[in-house]
Amino acid sequence: MAVTKEAFGKTKDGKEVSLYHVKNGNGVEAVLTDFGAILVSLFVKNAKGEVKDVVLGFDKVEDYEKNPSFFGSTIGPNANRIGGCKCVIEGKEYNLPNNCGGSNLHSDFDKGFHKQMWTAQVLDNGVKFSYEMPDGLVVLPGNIKVSVTYTLSEDNELKIEYDGVSDKTTIFNVTNHSYFDLAGHDAGEKGALGTELTFNAANYTEMDSISVPTGKIINVKGTPMDFSAPKTIGERINADYEQMKLANGYDHNYVVDNYDGKLRKIATARNDGRTMEVFTDLPGFQFYSGNFIDKQVGKGGVNYGVRHGFCIETQFFPNSVNDPTFISPVKKAGDKYHTVTIYKFSC
């Protein structure tokens, strides 16, 4: 196992940014940056021994300062949507930025975790990134201390551990927003839509016209949402199904089967001789088929666009802070937040 560091330029306000390369003995390599605790690249071999970078991203920190699609980002303090752009915590109402047509998405586009400088600690097999968010910076209460630890094993597991604590009761719902294409980040729509998926999730949360859960849990059987048996992403993505027409494809929270708070496999993805298994101890995950990726130039001058990658974002359900029937993402002052997500690769 080797961890190396190199310069990655400066932010617009002059802060030095670094890249961290974490490589195991099998040739799997994760490239991380202390700007946004972002996963920049992930190099994986296929069955033929071909190595490709399987996540979308950029070659320059300046592009991550914009990053309209959140490529590779650590999202928080609250990932996904909060309906009505407001929530009540310990009797006090907090009015959040209306940044997604009537809902709050990913806390704050400019001040969220993904746009902050983190302190990096190099480990034997990874990097631990730490950040302290001051009370009210993104409206939510509390001086929040948070860390995101990426480690890579010799079993080709990229583990992401999230830890946090606040001096006020607040929301902790942190995720990673990587866009995957197992045929390579440069494979385009054909590569992403050709991915075969299997989910251990028989239900999803129905959403309204602005992608906020209605509170209703829907069984996937007999619908294009069903990935209980292997199906490619593109096979039914344009189906005449109301929920999918609302999102121009897949952009839904799936409910983890038999959830008990323990780490379990939730999804398997296959393409181009590479297999990715996803594990989490969280109750849900957002499957997003990249329906609204802005046209932009990514790594190596590659042109990215709509449906050029897919996301499996582990999480508490969207709007769970406002729905008492969902598992709450709220942590009391002083209570520790800890979750684990693993992306495991094989041929």
Domain encompassing residue 104: 2-196+264-346
From the candidates 114, 252, 277, 313, give the one annotated as an active-site residue.
313
CATH of residue 74's domain is: 2.70.98.10
Please, which residues have CB within 8 angstroms of residue 136's CB and are 6 or more apart in sequence?
A: none
81 is in an annotated binding site: yes
CA gap 186, 131 in Å, rounded: 32
Cβ(316)–Cβ(259) below 8 Å: no
Left if phi > 0, otherwise alpha if psi is -120 to 50, otherwise beta: which for 155? alpha
Whether 204 maps to a domain, the answer reads no
Strands 337-346 and 274-280: antiparallel
Whether 175 maps to a domain, the answer reads yes
179 is in an annotated binding site: yes
307 is in an annotated binding site: no
Whether 232 maps to a domain, the answer reads no
From the candidates 106, 114, 177, 252, give the one annotated as an active-site residue.
177
Q: Is 185 a catalytic site residue?
A: no
CA gap 91, 338 in Å, rounded: 25
In tens digits, the chain (347 residues) has pLDDT values of 899 999 999 999 999 999 999 999 999 999 999 999 999 999 999 999 999 999 999 999 999 999 999 999 999 999 999 999 999 999 999 999 999 999 999 999 999 999 999 999 999 999 999 999 999 999 999 999 999 999 999 999 999 999 999 999 999 999 999 999 999 999 999 999 999 999 999 999 999 999 999 999 999 999 999 999 999 999 999 999 999 999 999 999 999 999 999 999 999 999 999 999 999 999 999 999 999 999 999 999 999 999 999 999 999 999 999 999 999 999 999 999 999 999 999 99
Question: Among residues 144, 169, 166, 164, which one has the least CA distance to residue 92?
Answer: 169
Whether 172 maps to a domain, the answer reads yes
Whether 87 maps to a domain, the answer reads yes
114 is in an annotated binding site: no
Whether 292 maps to a domain, the answer reads yes
Q: Is 177 a catalytic site residue?
A: yes
pLDDT at 27: 94
Whether 233 maps to a domain, the answer reads no
177 is in an annotated binding site: yes
What count of other Cβ atoms lies within 10 Å of the Cβ of residue 234?
A: 16
CA 43-47-48 angle, to 5 degrees, is 90
Whether 325 maps to a domain, the answer reads yes
- What's the structural domain count of the chain? 1
